[in-house]
Structure 1
Amino acid sequence: MRDYFPAARGVFDDLDAADTLELLGKAPTPAQAAKLTTGQISAALKRAHRKKNVTARAKTILGALGKQHLGQPDEVSVAYAASITALIAV
């Protein structure tokens, strides 16, 4: 995660928390995450059973994920995303 998706590491305190996994499952690449809306993030947080501060947390996540970050070439991001998606499925 540090190498290909630094924004996720910065916004999620616990990378194996239910809300983190829900969002990474929905948008496993930085490019996909940058396209998420507040509504999509809020819905993912609710699916992960977050009940408090959903809108505020969604806005915080959106702000962090929408920023430009140094990243990897698309091919590398896609490969990392496939690994993350597989790990979440297990």
Structure 2
Amino acid sequence: MTDLSTEATSADALLDDLRRHCYRPVLGDAQVGADDDFFALGADSIDLMRVVTAAQDHCRVDIDVAEFFEAPTLRRLAQIVERELAAGRVQAAS
């Protein structure tokens, strides 16, 4: 039996959550790996903005679009979200 750390499990859960709530509405049912380049999957800059907006709305954090654009992978998006949540930089409820 494999003993997964809580950190690894929560990282995997965040990847799955972002894949389901942010990537899937834009890319459909395409199989997206954590390190797949967003643009190599056929997406464009408008799609990137849609994913960032969905992630911001879903996770209630601000995301630096330029930072995600530099490394447009699901893993990088999750790292940005984790960093913002850990720093307590969440958006006020509207």
Smaller-chain TM-score bracket = 0.3 to 0.5
Higher relative helix content: 1
Structure with more relative contact order (C-alpha pairs < 8 Å, separation 6 or more):
1
TM-score normalised according to structure 2 size: 0.36
TM-score normalised according to structure 1 size: 0.37
Q: State which structure, 1 or 2, has the greater radius of gyration over its C-alpha atoms.
A: 2
